[in-house]
Chains A and B, each alone.
Chain A
Amino acid sequence: MEAATHAEAAHGHAHGHDDHAHHPSGLMRWVTTTNHKDIGTLYLLFSLTMFFIGGLLAFGIRAELFQPGLQYWEPEFFNQLTTMHGLIMVFGAIMPAFVGFANWQIPMMIGAPDMAFARMNNWSFWLLPPAAILLVSSFFVPGGAPAGGWTIYAPLSTQMGPGMDLGIFALHIMGASSIMGSINIVTTILNMRAPGMTLMKMPLFVWTWLITAYLLIAVMPVLAGAITMILTDRHFGTNFFNAAGGGDPVMFQHIFWFFGHPEVYIMILPAFGIVSQVIPAFARKPLFGYASMVYATSSIAILSFIVWAHHMFTTGMPAAGQLFFMFATMLIAVPTGVKVFNWIATMWKGSMTFETPMLFACGFLFVFSMGGFTGLVCAITPIDIQIQDTYYVVAHFHYVLVAGSLFAIFSGTYFWLPKWTGHMYSETLGKAHFWLSLVFFNVTFFPMHFLGLAGMPRRIPDYALQFADFNMIASIGALGFGLSQLLFVAAIIKCARGGEKAPAKPWEGADTLEWTLPSPAPYHSFETPPVIK
């Protein structure tokens, strides 16, 4: 609270605007705010909180898997842990974090004064905390939290206790929030760019978010439809997924993954955007192949709609279907390869320095590419049939989601913290955070490839003895990875409270509009749009 009032006072004399001079102070400032920077901060803090809640659940999972046998939890509770870890990390941590970045950065990067619909922006954020409370409180209802996996497959989800209803309502609310946020972002980008900023002059982060927002508008309603069908199957006697009534549980998988596959790109495209800002800034060279980056991002988004059934190779699809989805999936490696090539080409002969944002961006490149390659392995139907629902898949998607999305979020946070707070973060803390994260990440997830290839199934609290060593290594890594994240919090708190004064443009090679503003960015920026040459 004190910090908020302090920040408020600081903003008060940091800029000379006399309109909006009387916004409420204290807690009410954050509840009623329509300022894109405040809302961005709220999103990021919310996401950080959920990241630690989800991380705590992951601790629960890894503690149980430290040794074979059942140590701490009943299997039913273990299932709740894996399910809730997934739901919270996907919908509570990764997605809101990127929306937070969008809120802070998009108006500043396109020279707009604020988001297009400032009031709706406030709503889309404040829908999230109630949704999170609903979701987490499902642990305390009879039968416990959703336990059918984050994919909430029927018939598990149609037969579970009331925890599933809470989960469904939470997803509905988070979906509504995402759709509102996306409409806001698309509208802002399409209508409010500074004069002279054509679409092909937009920073790549803005481009990736424009495409992501379109994806969200297209697929979040489909998820809403699917979970509404589960809800009516559960309570109103419909039989969408109920085999007894002529429904088909496999159909749920089709509808879910029609949402789910674009969803995984929703979680990675903004990460591509952040990395595309960070790498040129620290290589002190413009991004290599800007136009091809835009086309690659768009191709990935379009292809994401025709590959969903690669999640379902073992459901008894006809061979023709398997072949189609296999080749379509592999096609995605082409635009993704273009992106990785362009990032490396940007570094080529650049005058590189390795501050924390750049370290995380390089870590992203290295580890995300590994995750991309295991993705190609999973795409091969005969191999997928072998490794479906094993730890190989767990390793794959943590390589792309943790080392991909999360490392990009870290990179972006360190990159823009000076602009947000007006102080430089502690490079020592940042570097320690990076190296510990990178090492412990690999200690945790690399052994999972071997576990999966050897046949250890995911989402099971116990395992055969021959998996014991790798599981122990993974659990030690997870403990280390989790504790390393405390350094991230320490770095943020230290930076927010003070430190070396940040110049307007702390990164020599950064060239987007937000760096023309003083640090910290004034509460109201670009009320007169800049002119882009």
Chain B
Amino acid sequence: MVSIPQLNLHTMRKLLIVSVAMFGFGFALVPFYKKICEVTGVNRLFKPDDIANTQIESARTVTIEFDSNLRSALPWTFKPLQTNVQIHPGELTTIIYEIRNNSDRAITGQAIPSYGPQLAQQYFKKIDCFCFTQQTLQPGESRRMPVVFVIESGLPAEVNTITLSYSFFEVEGAARKAG
């Protein structure tokens, strides 16, 4: 028969393994979380939306306003070439944003879209967008980039203006800021 102190050490070893494993489990939640989001379609920011063949509702006009923001003191200029457009739900529309790198180093950025009002998001279908990929700009380089979208005709009647807002983040920004 094993003595109590030996038995205790044995129990402690098992419990220590559990706690180390749970520490690892905390980190394992990160890829797990990403996978869940991917499978369930939450956080679908970087993929073109699927659109059904929709009828153009020419009797109804919706104003789409465009907004642009820069985060992490990104030394870029970023603006839409048109501040707003008036379109009909179901109508395929292309608009252009322009970015310019004003610094003397190559910088990679990622744009994140957001919508006002928030509920418009599910009716705002982007077929092409510069926000689907990261954008790398050489020093002084400027680039014009399209957004191709359709407003689905299910858009609630009380929504007559939608704001599409992009924020550009510097991809490596966090590392430099902390240093």
Indicate, yes or no, whether A interacts with B: yes
B33 touching A187, Cβ below 8 Å? no
Q: Does A233 contact B (CB under 8 A)?
A: yes
Q: Does B30 contact A (CB under 8 A)?
A: yes
Q: Does A451 contact B (CB under 8 A)?
A: no
Task: Give per-residue flags for A101-116: 1 if the beta carbon is below 8 A from chain B beta carbons, else 0.
Answer: 0000000000000001
Contact of A255 with B26 at beta-carbon distance under 8 Å, contacts A191-B4, A244-B174 already known: yes
Instruction: Give the 4 A-B CB pairs with smallest separation, nearest first.
Output: A225-B26, A237-B175, A244-B169, A221-B23
Q: Does B81 contact A (CB under 8 A)?
A: no
A245 touching B19, Cβ below 8 Å? no
Contact of A237 with B42 at beta-carbon distance under 8 Å, contacts A183-B12, A187-B8, A221-B19 already known: no
Given contact pairs A244-B171, A246-B171, a sample of 20 additional A-B residue pairs in the complex whose CB atoms are under 8 Å apart: A116-B11, A117-B12, A186-B15, A190-B11, A218-B22, A221-B25, A221-B26, A222-B26, A225-B26, A225-B29, A233-B174, A235-B178, A236-B178, A243-B169, A244-B72, A245-B173, A245-B174, A248-B43, A251-B33, A254-B33
Query: Nearest chain-A residue to B25 (Cβ)?
Result: A222
Which residues of the partner chain B approach A182 to less than 8 Å between Cβ atoms?
Answer: 15
B40 touching A318, Cβ below 8 Å? yes
Q: Could you tell me the distance between the alpha carbons of A117 and B27 in the complex, rounded to whole angstroms?
A: 30
Tell me the smallest distance from the CB of A236 to a CB of chain B, in Å: 7
Q: Does A160 contact B (CB under 8 A)?
A: no
Contact of A316 with B8 at beta-carbon distance under 8 Å, contacts A222-B22, A222-B26 already known: no
B98-139 interface (Cβ within 8 A of A): 110, 112
B173 touching A244, Cβ below 8 Å? yes
Which residues of the partner chain A approach B175 to less than 8 Å between Cβ atoms?
Answer: 236-237
Q: Does B159 contact A (CB under 8 A)?
A: no
A255 touching B112, Cβ below 8 Å? no
Which residues of the partner chain B approach A179 to less than 8 Å between Cβ atoms?
Answer: 19
Which residues of the partner chain A approach B15 to less than 8 Å between Cβ atoms?
Answer: 182-183, 186-187, 217
Q: Does B7 contact A (CB under 8 A)?
A: yes
Q: Does A192 contact B (CB under 8 A)?
A: yes
Which residues of the partner chain B approach A258 to less than 8 Å between Cβ atoms?
Answer: 26, 29
Q: Does B71 contact A (CB under 8 A)?
A: yes
* Complex A-B: 5 CB contacts under 8 Å: A236-B175, A242-B174, A248-B37, A254-B29, A316-B42
Query: Nearest chain-A residue to B170 (Cβ)?
Result: A244
Q: Could you tell me the distance between the alpha carbons of A186 and B22 in the complex, rounded to whole angstroms?
A: 17
B110 touching A246, Cβ below 8 Å? yes
Q: Does A224 contact B (CB under 8 A)?
A: yes
Q: Does A298 contact B (CB under 8 A)?
A: no
Q: Does A135 contact B (CB under 8 A)?
A: no
A221 touching B71, Cβ below 8 Å? no
Query: Nearest chain-B residue to A235 (Cβ)?
Result: B178
B8 touching A239, Cβ below 8 Å? no
Tell me the smallest distance from the CB of A414 to a CB of chain B, in Å: 33
Tell me the smallest distance from the CB of B40 to a CB of chain A, in Å: 6
A244 touching B71, Cβ below 8 Å? yes
B22 touching A191, Cβ below 8 Å? no
Task: Give per-residue flags for B159-179: 1 if the beta carbon is below 8 A from chain A beta carbons, else 0.
Answer: 000000000011111110011
Q: Which secondary structure dominates chain A's binding surface? A: helix
Query: For the side of the interface on A, what is the size category?
Result: 35 or more
Which residues of the partner chain A approach B110 to less than 8 Å between Cβ atoms?
Answer: 244, 246
B1-56 interface (Cβ within 8 A of A): 4, 7-8, 11-12, 15-16, 18-27, 29-30, 33-34, 37, 40, 42-43
Q: Could you tell me the distance between the alpha carbons of A233 and B171 in the complex, rounded to whole angstroms?
A: 13
Q: Could you tell me the distance between the alpha carbons of A183 and B42 in the complex, rounded to whole angstroms?
A: 39
Query: Nearest chain-A residue to B23 (Cβ)?
Result: A221
Which residues of the partner chain B approach A237 to less than 8 Å between Cβ atoms?
Answer: 172, 174-175, 178-179
Measured CB to CB, the residues of A under 8 A from B are 116-117, 179, 182-183, 186-187, 190-192, 217-226, 229, 233-240, 242-246, 248, 251, 254-255, 258, 316-318
Which residues of the partner chain B approach A217 to less than 8 Å between Cβ atoms?
Answer: 15, 18-19, 22
A243 touching B11, Cβ below 8 Å? no
Which residues of the partner chain A approach B72 to less than 8 Å between Cβ atoms?
Answer: 244
A192 touching B4, Cβ below 8 Å? yes
Which residues of the partner chain A approach B170 to less than 8 Å between Cβ atoms?
Answer: 244
Q: Could you tell me the distance between the alpha carbons of A242 and B177 in the complex, rounded to whole angstroms?
A: 12
Q: Could you tell me the distance between the alpha carbons of A186 and B12 in the complex, rounded to whole angstroms?
A: 9
Contact of A117 with B8 at beta-carbon distance under 8 Å, contacts A186-B15, A318-B42 already known: yes
A220 touching B19, Cβ below 8 Å? yes
Contact of A248 with B33 at beta-carbon distance under 8 Å, contacts A183-B16, A237-B175, A318-B40 already known: yes
Which residues of the partner chain B approach A183 to less than 8 Å between Cβ atoms?
Answer: 12, 15-16, 19
Which residues of the partner chain A approach B29 to less than 8 Å between Cβ atoms?
Answer: 222, 225, 251, 254-255, 258
Tell me the smallest distance from the CB of B91 to a CB of chain A, in Å: 28
Q: Could you tell me the distance between the alpha carbons of A158 and B29 in the complex, rounded to whole angstroms?
A: 19
Which one of B11, B26, B174 contacts A186 once the chains associate, using CB atoms below 8 Å?
B11
Which residues of the partner chain B approach A187 to less than 8 Å between Cβ atoms?
Answer: 8, 11-12, 15
Tell me the smallest distance from the CB of A302 to a CB of chain B, in Å: 15
Query: Nearest chain-A residue to B27 (Cβ)?
Result: A225
Which residues of the partner chain A approach B173 to less than 8 Å between Cβ atoms?
Answer: 244-245
B8 touching A191, Cβ below 8 Å? yes
A234 touching B178, Cβ below 8 Å? yes
Which residues of the partner chain B approach A221 to less than 8 Å between Cβ atoms?
Answer: 19-23, 25-26
Query: Nearest chain-A residue to B179 (Cβ)?
Result: A237
Q: Could you tell me the distance between the alpha carbons of A191 and B9 in the complex, rounded to whole angstroms?
A: 10
Contact of A226 with B19 at beta-carbon distance under 8 Å, contacts A234-B178, A245-B174, A316-B42 already known: no
Tell me the smallest distance from the CB of B81 to a CB of chain A, in Å: 25
Query: Nearest chain-A residue to B46 (Cβ)?
Result: A246
Which one of B18, B26, B37, B174 contacts A239 once the chains associate, using CB atoms below 8 Å?
B174
Query: Nearest chain-A residue to B42 (Cβ)?
Result: A318
Which residues of the partner chain A approach B179 to less than 8 Å between Cβ atoms?
Answer: 237
Q: Could you tell me the distance between the alpha carbons of A233 and B30 in the complex, rounded to whole angstroms?
A: 14
B19 touching A251, Cβ below 8 Å? no
A240 touching B169, Cβ below 8 Å? no
Which residues of the partner chain A approach B43 to less than 8 Å between Cβ atoms?
Answer: 248
Query: Nearest chain-B residue to A218 (Cβ)?
Result: B22
Q: Could you tell me the distance between the alpha carbons of A179 and B15 in the complex, rounded to whole angstroms?
A: 9
Q: Could you tell me the distance between the alpha carbons of A240 and B43 in the complex, rounded to whole angstroms?
A: 15
Q: Could you tell me the distance between the alpha carbons of A117 and B23 in the complex, rounded to whole angstroms?
A: 23
Which residues of the partner chain B approach A248 to less than 8 Å between Cβ atoms?
Answer: 33-34, 37, 43
